[in-house]
Amino acid sequence: MYAKVIVDVPAKDTNRAFDYIIPPSLEPWVEVGSRVGVPFGSRVIQGFVVELRESSDYELHKMREIKHVLDPIPPLNGELVELSRWMSRKYACHEITALQAMIPGALKAKYERKIIVSGPKAQPPVEDDREREIIDYILSKESLSMEQLLRRFPADGPLLKEMLIRGRLAEEQEIKDRLSKKTVLTVFPPENPQLLEACLAQLPENAKRQRQLIEHLQTNPEPVKLADLSKRQGISSSAVKALADKGWIALREVEVFRDPYENRVFERTTSLQLTDEQQAIYDEIAASLRMRTHQVFLLHGVTGSGKTEVYLQAIEVCLNQGREAIVLVPEISLTPQMVERFKSRFGDWVAVLHSRLSHGERYDEWRKIQMGKVKVAIGARSAVFAPFSNLGLLIVDEEHEASYKQEENPKYHAGEVAVARGRQSRAVILLGSATPSLESYHRTQTGEYKLLKMPSRVQGRPLPAVQVIDMREELKAGNRSMFSRALHQAIEDRLQKQEQMVLLLNRRGYSTFVMCRSCGYVAGCPHCEISLTYHHNSRTMRCHYCGYAERELNSCPSCKSAHIRFFGAGTQRVEEELVRLFPGIRVIRMDVDTTNQKGAHEKWLQLFRSRQADVLLGTQMVAKGLDFPYVTLVGVIAADTVLNLPDFRSAEKTFQLLTQVAGRAGRHHLPGEVVIQSYTPEHYSIQCASMHDYSRFVAQELKLREAREYPPFWKLILVTLSHGQIPLLVRAGETLADEIRQQWRRLSRHATDAGGDGRLEVLGPVASPISRIKDRYRFQCMIKYRGDVAISGIMDGALSRLEDTVSKEKLQISVDVDPQMMM
């Protein structure tokens, strides 16, 4: 047998599969998705098996053998390998980079592994002779690697594997960055209960504690953790030790999966009676699941419309079919509250994957999926790679969230990957949001996705009333505070009524754009219709798209006022101001500074939930998914901070943020109120958000995007080049841009003849918004295209022109397909 292997050398020359011979002893272990060690040049390196073959076209005498298999159970499967191929084409990354992104970090660490027998040593269950022999052999060895075991039992590959999957054998690995696997001392009663009788008869009357233990085991014959025995039954561990020494019972270390939620008790919930709106949507999704067809649904449900209940019941349909489900949630929304809703419905069938878990915890959760012990995986971005093999449903909650895009290589978008994976495995995809992204919404118009709508909140609760305050008027009226009179009044009112409030300040807009406080004028680029960014060091204002720059302004070009300045106020300043204006006010400030410790985020939310604070003040993190019954006021300090970011999505992001944060108010019996402060209250994103009018917003925004040649009509690829010397960078950037243009000209001549409608433009090279990082300068080219463009061929061709500079001069090139971050 032969294997095609993608080796772990991320370079252009090696971005293809190499052929290797599978030695007969390894044949039962090598599958598509296996990680293997293979000779490559003079070294042995890691690789992933992507295909098995009976024959090879490669010259046999030159071919080498796979040296070893790294994991007894492959970490990936055929479906994920296929997905990595798709990713490498879509995101212009090496296949190995995509493959490595799919496996948990713990697997990448250096480790040694050995095979151990798990389960009771003293009383093995009925096994066949072969199995007995294998177990005895392992027990007789101090430490045994899988390879040694294979060498000893060359014909028993399938049995060994089966024992591993069954859990009779396990591989134990010491991973440097974690304290090996977690084990607990466990007490095993003898399998034959009569032995307990015999033991009791032999124990002296005064051995009270030992008697107590035996009596307990008589009524509870299951293996039990030693710690539980002493904690819950008050049985001393010395009594256990004494009986174990005499051989009546067995005491062994048993591996446990670390469960970060192990100390929480989840009350079981059952399905709620769906509302009519929910029912209609559920019926559509369930029908698609039952037909086992691939279909992408975009569920546009206003905040509080009960999307989660629809998710839960759709998952139930999927599980009943014997298929598995993945739920993606933005990292920030993956709170215990969120997890609880899934755990309390599906109990131990749920694995949770998120980055706040330690490497080891994450690995354990991942292995539950790999071993088929769970059927539902819920997690952030990378959970889209959960190694299920019979996937029926993929849910992407808050699908519009920018955090689904990974900003490091491979720069994938988890929602896009979910759709691609679903297409492969004929699964149903459910994208949900109160503010769907323009990209997804557009696809419902072209017929790629199907739009489902839930326009009302459950139980007839109204959406909150929204007031937009014109801050220019406040200034005119002599109010220079950061709180308008209306917001001031509303805060005072809530303090009196002992209700709670959420105040939002978007820090991402900190000190970046230049605005007139008298008339709301914002300095924009004459060529790009986006705002200029203030650069403090050079005292200039710059365009991040085309490179246009001008000197900072001393007065407003529009109204001549001197109240022009770069804009932004930190959360800390808002907190100080609150405390000054409302003595005794209890404020919880949540921003990157106060939540960078593990568990801090949850601690603050818990504190707020228990009403030990009046105000939850923060950045975007307070806008998403939170559900507090006593919140009746939501205040947005400055809606414009996002609006003026140099990003073509700024209106969309403003609309989303305002809608999401407004959705935090009045979710329960108390009605909610929202106050939005703005210097440009007439802007359509603010107007539409204040009227909860998504349709009007998308209609207007889509028109603008088309006119300005932005996504979703045009596609973007951002290529960033970095190097220590500017002249080299500029040359490389120009080579790249020229090459792309030339390739396109050549191709489009044929394409147009064939009736193609493709268009392509290259902007740049210009200095990147962050023009230097770690002493490396950065330049970028933006490629825009639409219609019939064979983009991956063009990119490949152009990038290969720079191969030499990359290898000889250490030029770095980063390609970001469908970029989310423009700064």
46 binds, among Zn ion, ligand ADP, none (CB under 5 to 8 A by kind): none
In contact, 354 and 422? CB cutoff 8 Å? no
304 binds, among ligand ADP, Zn ion, none (CB under 5 to 8 A by kind): ligand ADP
Residues 556-585 that bind Zn ion (CB under 5 A): 556, 558-559, 561
Does 199 show up as a binding residue in the annotation? no
Q: Minimum Å distance from CB 780 to Zn ion?
A: 13
Q: Minimum Å distance from CB 106 to Zn ion?
A: 45
**Interaction between residue 659 and ligand ADP (CB under 6 A):** no
The binder of Zn ion chosen from 545, 604, 608, 777 (CB under 5 A): 545
- Identify which of 442, 406, 418, 430 has the alpha carbon closest to the alpha carbon of residue 652: 442
How far is it, in rounded angstroms, from Cα 445 to Cα 451? Answer: 9
In contact, 200 and 189? CB cutoff 8 Å? no
**Interaction between residue 528 and Zn ion (CB under 5 A):** yes
Instruction: Give the amino acid at 679.
Output: Y
How far is it, in rounded angstroms, from Cα 172 to Cα 786? Answer: 52
Stretch that binds ligand ADP, among 195-203, 299-307, 505-513, 674-682 (CB under 6 A): 299-307
Does 559 show up as a binding residue in the annotation? yes
In contact, 74 and 107? CB cutoff 8 Å? no
Q: Extract long-range pairs of 192-196: CB within 8 Å, 24+ residues apart.
A: 193/218, 193/221, 195/248, 196/248
The binder of ligand ADP chosen from 304, 520, 733, 819 (CB under 6 A): 304
- Identify which of 71, 45, 66 has the alpha carbon closest to the alpha carbon of residue 175: 71
**Interaction between residue 652 and ligand ADP (CB under 6 A):** no
Q: Minimum Å distance from CB 273 to ligand ADP?
A: 6
Does 543 show up as a binding residue in the annotation? yes
Cα of first residue to Cα of last residue in the chain, in angstroms, is 50
Q: Minimum Å distance from CB 329 to ligand ADP?
A: 11
| Residue 585: strand, helix, or coil | coil
- Identify which of 347, 425, 337 has the alpha carbon closest to the alpha carbon of residue 384: 425
**Interaction between residue 782 and Zn ion (CB under 5 A):** no
- Triad 474, 479, 482: Cα angle to 5°: 85
525 binds, among Zn ion, ligand ADP, none (CB under 5 to 8 A by kind): Zn ion
Residues 441-460 that bind ligand ADP (CB under 6 A): 458
Encoding tokens for residue 448? 């790629």
The answer to whether the peptide bond before residue 410 is cis (omega within 30 degrees of 0) is yes
**Interaction between residue 525 and Zn ion (CB under 5 A):** yes
278 binds, among Zn ion, ligand ADP, none (CB under 5 to 8 A by kind): ligand ADP
How far is it, in rounded angstroms, from Cα 174 to Cα 180? Answer: 5
**Interaction between residue 518 and Zn ion (CB under 5 A):** yes
In contact, 256 and 226? CB cutoff 8 Å? no
**Interaction between residue 519 and Zn ion (CB under 5 A):** yes
Which is closer to ligand ADP, CB of 281 or CB of 553? 281
Which is closer to ligand ADP, CB of 344 or CB of 389? 344
How far is it, in rounded angstroms, from Cα 823 to Cα 783? Answer: 16
How far is it, in rounded angstroms, from Cα 125 to Cα 140? Answer: 19
301 binds, among Zn ion, ligand ADP, none (CB under 5 to 8 A by kind): ligand ADP
| Residue 286: strand, helix, or coil | helix
Q: Minimum Å distance from CB 639 to Zn ion?
A: 18
**Interaction between residue 401 and ligand ADP (CB under 6 A):** no
DSSP single-letter state for residue 462: P
Does 556 show up as a binding residue in the annotation? yes
Stretch that binds ligand ADP, among 307-315, 386-394, 444-452, 635-643 (CB under 6 A): 307-315
Residue 578: phi and psi, rounded to 5, are -60, -45
- Identify which of 607, 643, 645 has the alpha carbon closest to the alpha carbon of residue 628: 607
Which is closer to ligand ADP, CB of 87 or CB of 315? 315
Cα 283 from chain centre:
28
Q: How many Cα atoms sit within 13 Å of 130 on the Cβ side?
A: 11
**Interaction between residue 301 and ligand ADP (CB under 6 A):** yes
Q: Minimum Å distance from CB 457 to ligand ADP?
A: 7
- Identify which of 338, 327, 349, 345 has the alpha carbon closest to the alpha carbon of residue 394: 327
Residues 264-293 that bind ligand ADP (CB under 6 A): 272-275, 278
| Residue 252: strand, helix, or coil | strand
- Identify which of 687, 128, 592 has the alpha carbon closest to the alpha carbon of residue 332: 592
**Interaction between residue 305 and ligand ADP (CB under 6 A):** yes
The binder of ligand ADP chosen from 210, 308, 518, 685 (CB under 6 A): 308
Does 318 show up as a binding residue in the annotation? no
118 binds, among ligand ADP, Zn ion, none (CB under 5 to 8 A by kind): none
Q: Minimum Å distance from CB 332 to ligand ADP?
A: 15
Task: Please enumerate, by residue number, every residue annotated as part of a binding site for Zn(2+).
Answer: 516, 519, 525, 528, 543, 546, 556, 559
What is the binding site for ligand ADP (CB under 6 A)?
Answer: 272-275, 278, 301, 303-309, 458, 627
Residues at the site binding Zn ion, with contacts judged by CB under 5 A: 516, 518-519, 521, 525, 527-528, 543, 545-546, 548, 556, 558-559, 561
Annotated binding-site residue numbers: 516, 519, 525, 528, 543, 546, 556, 559
